[in-house]
Chain A
Amino acid sequence: MPSAPQPPRARPYSEATFIIPAGYGDTRIALLVKDPWWLYAYWEVHPSDERRVKSRLTPEEVIGLQTILRVYDVTDGGAPESAAHWMDIPLSGLAANWYLNTNAPDHAFVVEIGLLTRFGRFLAIARSNQVRAPRSGPSDVIDEAWRIADEQFWKLLHLSGQIGMGSSPGSAKNALEHAAPGSAGAAASSMDVPSSHQPKALRVHAELIVHGSADPRATVTIQGQPVALRADGSFSARFALPEGTQAIDVAATTATHQAAVTPVVIYRVQEKAGPAPDATAPARRGQPEAR
């Protein structure tokens, strides 16, 4: 049922109504380093900037126009337009970010987003910052004052184990994987993870609740241990029940009276396991309650 229109009034701000924007109306491309072999670019192109660049096209060039990323290797320190190596990545209309497989550790890169005509003319719309991919192995540069023989260096490296292979202590759970054969994924070192219980076949436990009431002024014990009485004289106690026989002496004592009741509980467990009666039948939904 439609509600009556509300009179407009200033409502208190609620951040719940905030929607994370897709962009900010800028024209820019930013380049980040993922690892020695991969970079990541995100961008945003304001329509007016795209129009401005398109206005430089000849009518023939408009046909077959392609939006691309041009990735320049600028390791030698020159400007992107004079770079000897670049690669082009054609984009689909909706992409706003891309992982670039530059595959060149220790090289420097700049990327431009722009338009490529079918005649090979490239018109840049935005240029990124410059980044340098990290090295993926030891440097070849040797400082004579701190010289180390090649063989010695590789021995040192070897002694320190698996370099750069993601020993990843950031996920403390590594150390505990023994403990949780069924748990998936890395967990925040500093945080809890929900215990990832694999569906266990069946786990059953029994507990016993002993409850009753007595004169509120009485002292009540169960198997010799005092229990707290509520104001109305009622009490209850809960016990994990092991297999076997339990004699549960409950006694109440006041200044003038004494009373005792002893429930006796026998708990036995029988186990049975095997294939399901009809393995082809559709699986039953849910697990039996196994607590």
Chain B
Amino acid sequence: MAAQPRGYLAFVLHSHLPFIRHPEHEDFLEERWFFEALTETYLPLLERFQRLVDEGIPVRVTMSFTPTLLAMLDDELLQRRYVRHLDKLLELTEREISRTRWQPHFHRLALFYHHRFASARRMFVEVNHCRVIPAFRQLMDAGAIEPLASCATHGYLPLMDYQPAAVRAQIAIGVQAFEHAFGRRPEGMWLPECGYHPGHDAWLKEAGIRYFLTDAHGIFFGSPRPKYGTYAPVICPSGVAAFGRDLESSKSVWSAEEGYPGDPAYREFYRDIGFDLDLEYVRPYIGSDGARVHTGVKYHRITGKTESKEPYDPDRALEQASRHAAHFLSSRERQVDALRGLIDREPLIVSPYDTELFGHWWFEGPDWIEALIRRAHAHHPGLELVSPGDYLERHPRNQVVQPCQSSWGYQGYSEVWLNGANDWIYRHLHKMAERMQELAARHPDSSGPMRRALNQSARELLLAQASDWAFILKTQTHTAYAYRRLHDHLARFTRLYDAITSRTIDEAWLGQVEAGDNLFPFLDYRVYASA
């Protein structure tokens, strides 16, 4: 056991994608979100964590996985399509290697990307046999990552409070999905968008969850006043612990002004050959309707606030990531020292981020994380990487506080998911949840097609509840897709409800719906039966 640290750092990555799977289309643009996340974020992180473990360097990263992401990672159709996607990228980058022959900077980058896609393919197909969850599970068994559960479809719970049974089901199914993937019960849960509403901790308690995370004001505005602020967890009246996000460490990564990802040396996200090159040339690699999209092949660095971007230099970017990792850690040490004058125990700094920031948005992010872990081990013995659960083992006695309703969305409450662009959806989501409870109450037991229809109704409700749709409607990107998803799940749910009510189930159609919205094979609709 090492010397007593001066402070703790809980590095938390929240991994989520909405369930997007369209077997009815040969090629579906929005499925790329998942493919890009694999290539740019999940596989690079996996590779780096495995390398660190192999070298005997202690990794202690907390990582949530939403059930929708787990379902996609586990889906054979999407696995096959991902390999097809990588093969297209390999073909594209082969053409790029040739096309850029007279441009040494770009030529080198074309080779760089070709190599990356080839390693992603090797990692995915040969090393992991297309199944990534077991690899993360091994990291869990090695103590390198501490996985967190999350709600079934990333439903935003504060706006679901009108139907407590719906909240309870999102949590309970989230726990089941975790057990299905990781073979053990989860210790902690990531509340989607850090959306906490007082009282929901009781449902977490019921599901066997020991802790969750909130945004900073969820703790700071809690009652009574939290003696340690966000630098220690608080215990909710239910006995479940709540950890508050540290804003200072967040800011160094997120902030547009001060954040690392905006550094001129880093790769420019918005310059992609999918947009920059001749349409006819890139046509086989973009949307099947000819819509230009990101291919992931990006040749420029941020350079500065200018339109004329310089070619990207991966070595220089890597060095910068390493410097930024050192900066992050020394800033945390300074923060810990400043806090020690104010609180009488070793402060805990909880730094949660969206996993996809690292790699997808901030290309060098996975390198930054690796550098951070290496450096924390070698140079910062006073700062110990822990999971929130580890902290609770060391400090089981904490103040009882009722956290404040909060989220990590814009302005800190619910306006991102409740505004003029998306408020109309709640009328329908609440009605569906009400009808689902009615169905569950009417059918305490069922079998055959009836049971299948009831389970599928629950899936359609859950899919409609994904916070992503409200978010997309608000941000005005891909709104047609978000609308379509809400429409389709509501349509399927309504037809199922009518069919169950009138006992006229069209089995052929039910089979089709089950084959499309095929997540959560373990689901039992009776989770809605008693609240």
Contact = CB atoms under 8 A, between A and B. Distances in A.
A224 B27 CA distance: 38
Interface in A158-199: 159-181, 183, 185-198
Contact of A148 (B227, B247, B431): B227
B492 interface: yes
Contact of A143 (B36, B224, B338): B224
Interface stretch (A115-123, A129-137, A249-257): A129-137
A239 B101 contact: yes
Contacts of B266: 179
Contacts of B224: 139, 141-143, 146
B254 A167 contact: yes
A110 B318 CA distance: 56
B258 to A, nearest CB: 10
Nearest to A141: B224
Contacts of B259: 174-175
Contact of A170 (B226, B406, B410): B410
Nearest to B223: A139
B256 A192 contact: no
Given A160-B246, A170-B408, A135 B221 contact: yes
Contacts of B430: 30
Interface string B20-47: 0000000000001100110000000000
A35 B158 CA distance: 11
Which of A23, A136, A166, A242 gathers most chain B CB within 10 Å? A166
A13 B225 contact: no
A46 to B, nearest CB: 14
Given A153-B229, A159-B342, A173-B361, A179 B302 contact: yes
Interface in B221-236: 221-231
B221 A179 contact: no
B294 interface: yes
Contacts of B411: 35, 164-166, 168
Interface in B283-330: 293-294, 302, 305, 307
Given A35-B415, A40-B418, A156-B231, A169 B408 contact: yes
Contacts of B331: none
B413 to A, nearest CB: 4
Nearest to B471: A188
A42 interface: yes
B102 A34 contact: no
Given A15-B492, A191-B478, A239 B99 contact: yes
Interface string B246-280: 11101101111001111000101111100111110
Interface string B146-170: 0000000000001101100000000
A101 interface: no
A157 interface: yes
Contact-residue bracket for chain B:
35 or more
A246 B18 CA distance: 49
B216 A169 contact: no
Residue of B102, B277, B400, B509 with most chain A CB atoms under a 10 A cut-off: B102
A228 B215 CA distance: 57
B474 to A, nearest CB: 8
B141 interface: no
Interface of A is mostly: loop
A102 to B, nearest CB: 13
A12 B510 CA distance: 12
Contact of B343 (A156, A164, A246): A156
B381 interface: no
A177 B101 contact: no
Contact of B475 (A140, A156, A167, A186): A186
Given A179-B262, A223-B101, A188 B225 contact: no
Interface string A6-46: 00000011010010100110100011111110101010100
Contacts of A175: 253-256, 259-262, 357, 361-362
A164 B37 contact: no
B101 A176 contact: no
A195 B419 CA distance: 25
Contacts of A223: 101
Interface string B463-476: 00000100110111
Contacts of B100: 239-240
Name which of A159, A186, A200 has the most chain B CB atoms within 10 A of its CB.
A159
Contact of B106 (A131, A138, A178, A240): A240
A287 interface: no
A174 B254 contact: yes
A136 B218 CA distance: 10
Nearest to A194: B477
Contacts of B413: 33-36, 134
A6 B472 CA distance: 41
A176 B472 CA distance: 19
A228 B275 CA distance: 27
Contacts of B256: 174-178
A148 B261 CA distance: 37
Contacts of A92: none
Interface string B102-127: 11001000000000000000000000
B143 to A, nearest CB: 27
A181 B269 CA distance: 12
A139 B483 CA distance: 40
A197 B230 CA distance: 40
A15 B148 CA distance: 36
B262 A168 contact: no
Contacts of A145: 399
Contacts of B475: 171, 185-188
A284 interface: no
B17 A193 contact: no
B251 A190 contact: no
Contacts of A213: none
B418 to A, nearest CB: 5
Contact of A178 (B305, B404, B486, B506): B305
B409 interface: yes
A153 B491 contact: no
Contacts of B278: 207, 291
23 contacts: A30-B430, A33-B413, A34-B413, A129-B162, A132-B198, A135-B221, A147-B227, A153-B229, A165-B412, A167-B247, A167-B251, A167-B408, A170-B408, A174-B255, A179-B269, A186-B410, A189-B357, A195-B270, A196-B270, A207-B281, A225-B98, A246-B102, A291-B277
Interface of B: 16-18, 32-33, 36-37, 95, 98-103, 106, 158-159, 161-162, 193, 198, 215-217, 220-231, 246-248, 250-251, 253-256, 259-262, 266, 268-272, 275-279, 281, 293-294, 302, 305, 307, 335, 338-339, 342-343, 352-354, 356-357, 360-362, 399-401, 404-416, 418-419, 423-424, 426-428, 430-431, 468, 471-472, 474-478, 486-488, 490-492, 494-495, 506, 509
The 5 A-B residue pairs whose C-beta atoms are closest, nearest first, are: A178-B262, A139-B223, A18-B491, A134-B405, A177-B256
